[in-house]
Structure 1
């Protein structure tokens, strides 16, 4: 077994994670309990984030000094401010002659790079080209990085999910199809697009469908739009969903829906698939790698007619299709379970 005391992880680690990257790192902590972790960010105001960055960097340098056995620094980064923080860690790790893995999350890294000023593009190129390995979430992202950069080594390692707890629960009375959305409440995840679509077609959905929306973010705007569009009969906001409650909602739902505009490889979709749910989502990021006609319906981002047609398909009495697609979802998700991801990571570490 690989000695994980040689590994140091950097990212938004938390014992009670909110967000996909924090969830991934919390699962890595379970797989590699002897590894070192440095939390690079806290969900707080600007001043608190600045303090957490300074303290994180101090802890990082301290660990590198007192534990020379640390050989590999595994940096989990997204775009924008996340990249700017991680780039500092990257330069320090290189000064200490450590092997560096850059693990890219987030669905907007391409836009971040294309729209960056020249000086920032140079830093992004340095980050990608001079790391020892770039880890992507899907083959589509691997293609983006090989076409726009010159990475020394690149590979795809899927996001990790927990082994599901399956219970027989129903969220609605028989005959009403339950749709579950879990994600950051904001434009990128397509929540406003979803609400607008439901508003335009609500007369056809009442008594046939119920939508459960969970997450954090722009909650006041969400609640205001539910009232303005008069969606109370078919939409329920369930707030931030803890892991225990999440299992209940996944077990009780019939369909998972995430009409995002940008994605890497959403943890929420993988978790839904592990609970044998069909998926309604969009053709962005790594989603087409895990969702096709066998286990769901993909639409173009922002297309209300396509979204309604997908919803209508599942509320049209297609119970056999729901079950068959759900079974395919479960079959597709096996590579994302902890034992499979652990094998990919230990193989990577042993080769560096």
Structure 2
């Protein structure tokens, strides 16, 4: 990402993960926001890059990566004053300590600067159950001016003063056009796009498709391999199943072409915030089958007809079979695309983001 300084703009420093080196929901969202904010800010990015194979667990590699990034942050802060600090609030002990150390450096160098921390997850209560986590979060909260929340549902439960909290729905990198309406198809073309992580529900999804007829269903999966051992188990589980394809990650126009060619997007994740890939599907009018976790119901509404239960293969299979016989697929497609344009479009997101960082 190339963001060039413009001297007539305020200075903002970002500390965290960004594309293209790191590809997951939070990093993509950060990248989108930084691109939009560059109209108003000179942006300095201090990237913290750790291989996704270390996702969700502590490792010495991640510690060394963080220490190198902290050194870069300290150097950047010594060369220029910054009006704003932007980063992600992490939901782990290691992560919240990273937040505390990074903000301490920023506050020491820029006592009058503003701190914005973005929350990309929905499981704060689990994180906050730890006394040690609460201790470091209290320190981070004292140094933070604004917490950017994913959902209106977070407003009441997140322990910060009302004037420190603001809601900003996610948006996506690019917006696709309308899909060609397909109606009923002989073979239901299903698609999954996410990293190959067990908590995304890919195991349940592939096991269900092993039970479904190859004459009636096809599943194309795309993602990065972030858990090598699990990837080997997953590949072995679908060996010989020609209607199930496990493919490498796709991005940009290739992703939107794949979404537009499918009949339904399936995402049986165990835990989410507000997943970008569901917004991408909605933007092209692709119906989705998904679990009602995190803030997914704010994307799709409480009465969306194709929610399945997480970690429940029978519920997932029933949902897929109900969708296959659903009579008004084209009407559902139009409704989803209209909902996206009204509430989650890039234009709407940009206006709200600029307003947040103008305060």
Is the TM-score greater than 0.5?
Answer: yes
What residue number does 2:189 align with?
178
In structure 2, C-alpha distance between the alignment counterparts of 1:182 and 1:350, rounded to whole Å: 35
What residue number does 2:135 align with?
122
Contact 1:163 1:337 (8 Å CA) reproduced: no
1:348 counterpart = 2:356:
yes
1:106 counterpart = 2:121:
yes
**What RMSD, in angstroms, separates the aligned Cα atoms of the two structures?**
2.8
What residue number does 2:49 align with?
41
What residue number does 1:29 align with?
34
| Matching of residues 3-18 of structure 1 within 5 Å | 5-15=10-20, 17-18=22-23
What residue number does 2:3 align with?
none
TM-score by length of 2: 0.84
Q: 1:221 aligns with which of 217, 225, 230?
A: 230
What residue number does 1:324 align with?
331
What residue number does 2:156 align with?
143
Give SS of 2:117's match.
Answer: strand
**Greater shift in the superposed pair: 213-222 or 250-259:** 213-222
Consecutive unaligned residues in structure 2, runs of 5 or more:
1-7
- Aligned positions, number: 338
Q: 1:285 aligns with which of 291, 294, 297?
A: 294
Question: How has the CA–CA distance of structure 1 residues 144 and 57 changed in structure 2, closer, same or farther, with 3 Å as cutoff?
Answer: same
Give SS of 1:333's match.
Answer: helix
Contact 1:133 1:151 (8 Å CA) reproduced: no
| Matching of residues 1-352 of structure 1 within 5 Å | 5-15=10-20, 17-33=22-38, 34-43=42-51, 46=59, 49-68=62-81, 70-80=82-92, 81-95=94-108, 96-97=110-111, 98-114=113-129, 116=130, 118-128=131-141, 130-146=143-159, 149-150=160-161, 152-166=163-177, 175-199=186-210, 201-202=211-212, 205-216=213-224, 217-218=226-227, 221-222=230-231, 224-228=233-237, 232-292=241-301, 297-316=306-325, 318=326, 320-334=327-341, 335-351=343-359
Give SS of 1:160's match.
Answer: coil
Consecutive unaligned residues in structure 1, runs of 5 or more:
none
Q: CA deviation at 1:151?
A: 6.0
TM-score by length of 1: 0.85
In structure 2, C-alpha distance between the alignment counterparts of 1:35 and 1:189, rounded to whole Å: 33
Give SS of 2:198's match.
Answer: coil
